[in-house]
């Protein structure tokens, strides 16, 4: 029996034991399946015990695996507590806002007021799927977005707090015929191809939301386009592609484009505050408190009759789990 066991091996074993599926466990840990299997085999050699029974049809825990699991969980929890204690909450909290001028920025501003002694640093990534991978890898702490649209393997390692049902809108080229309307009925987009991040691996949850919204309405999803960073690049790409863009009503003004809310029905996107499970930091507490206050002040979770929500939020819409 070894005197010391690498915590990485215990984490590999614990996730594999929770998933009972090595492919899903590897995805959750963001490692190759071969690397996960190698770590599990190494742990089995060091302990001198077989932990899993693997067949072509299923993976199950052995009796030794069942006995080890609660101990492994306690060791990993103690390690997380040790790291948090050493950090002391003093390190900057990295918060992804996706884009400037959005609701996420308002939550961050209020959180900074609530925790003036702690540094909350803004980052700007292209979508929640990409941000979630960064959070699980420890390179980012918090993000915002459509949590229900994430893959289950990503959701398993994250906590979230629902903040707002955001009204969806469409950005139209300035000379598009639909700009004459104050609001755009969904059916008026029939025959159009609307850009919703297709082809961008960081925005899979947004493309999934668009697929659900457009299904059966004769609205297509525009093919992949270069990700435009900055107002001028956005103007140039929109002028070239001429494709409407699915967004939210709070999206900042962009040159060469006109923002119009969508109606009939009024489509909504559930916006959640998302962080890594087990993360303890005063900044996370401040963000959660700020989100709670702003949600209440603005009635952000009120649902209007006839509103539309994506089906994949079933069971997640009102979930506000702790860390």
Return the CATH number of 7-87, one of 3.40.640.10, 1.10.10.10, 2.70.98.20, 1.20.1250.20. 1.10.10.10
- pLDDT, tens only, 175-196: 899 999 999 999 999 999 998 8
Rg of the chain on CA atoms, in Å: 22
CA nearest to 196, candidates 133, 165, 252, 241: 241
Whether domain 167-263 has CATH 3.30.70.20: the reply is no
Do the two domains 93-165+269-313 and 167-263 of this chain adopt the same fold? yes
Please give the Cα distance from 79 to 14 (Å, whole number).
Answer: 14
Whether domain 93-165+269-313 has CATH 3.40.190.10: the reply is yes
94, 123 in Cβ contact below 8 A?
Answer: yes
- Residue by residue, what is the 3-state secondary structure of 257-309? EEEEEEECCCEEEEEEEEEECCCCCHHHHHHHHHHHHHHHHHCCCCCCCCCEC
pLDDT of residue 233: 59
pLDDT of residue 241: 66
pLDDT band at 239 (very low <50, low <70, confident <90, very high): low
pLDDT of residue 209: 95
> Any idea where the domains of the chain sit in the sequence?
7-87, 93-165+269-313, 167-263
* pTM for the model: 0.69
- pLDDT, tens only, 1-52: 566 888 999 999 999 999 899 988 888 888 889 999 999 999 999 999 999 9
- pLDDT, tens only, 280-319: 899 999 999 999 999 999 999 988 787 899 986 544 544 4
CA distances to 120, 147, 210, 281 from 287, rounded to whole Å, are 9, 17, 28, 10
Please give the Cα distance from 109 to 101 (Å, whole number).
Answer: 11
pLDDT of residue 318: 44
């Amino acid at each position: 029996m070894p005197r010391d066991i690498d915590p990485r091996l215990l984490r590999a074993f614990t996730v594999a034991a929770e998933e009972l599926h090595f492919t899903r466990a590897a995805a959750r840990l963001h490692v190759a399946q071969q690397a996960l299997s190698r770590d599990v085999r190494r742990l089995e050699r060091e302990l001198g015990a077989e932990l899993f029974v693997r067949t072509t049809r299923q993976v199950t825990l052995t009796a030794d695996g069942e006995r080890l699991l609660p101990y492994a969980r306690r060791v990993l929890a103690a390690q997380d507590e040790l790291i948090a204690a050493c950090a002391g909450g003093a390190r900057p909290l990295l918060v992804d806002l996706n884009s400037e001028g959005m609701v996420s920025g308002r939550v961050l501003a209020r959180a900074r007021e609530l925790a003036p002694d702690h540094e909350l640093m803004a980052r700007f990534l292209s979508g929640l799927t990409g941000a979630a991978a960064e959070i699980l890898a420890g390179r980012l702490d918090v993000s915002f977005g459509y949590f229900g649209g994430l893959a289950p393997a990503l959701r398993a390692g994250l906590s979230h707090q629902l903040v707002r049902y955001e009204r969806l809108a469409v950005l139209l080229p300035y000379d598009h015929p639909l700009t004459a309307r104050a609001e755009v009925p969904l059916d008026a987009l029939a025959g159009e191809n609307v850009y919703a991040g297709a082809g961008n691996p960081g925005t899979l949850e947004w493309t999934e939301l668009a697929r659900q919204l457009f299904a059966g309405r004769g609205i297509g999803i525009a093919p992949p386009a270069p990700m435009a960073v900055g107002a001028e690049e956005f103007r140039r790409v929109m002028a070239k592609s001429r494709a409407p863009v699915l967004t939210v009503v709070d999206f900042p003004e962009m040159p060469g484009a006109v923002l119009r809310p969508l109606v009939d029905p009024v489509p909504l996107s559930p916006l959640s505050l998302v962080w890594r499970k087990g993360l303890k930091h005063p900044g996370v507490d401040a963000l959660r408190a700020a989100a709670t206050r702003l949600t209440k002040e603005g009635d952000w979770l009120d649902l209007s009759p006839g509103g539309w929500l994506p089906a994949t939020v079933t069971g997640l819409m009102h979930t506000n789990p702790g860390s």
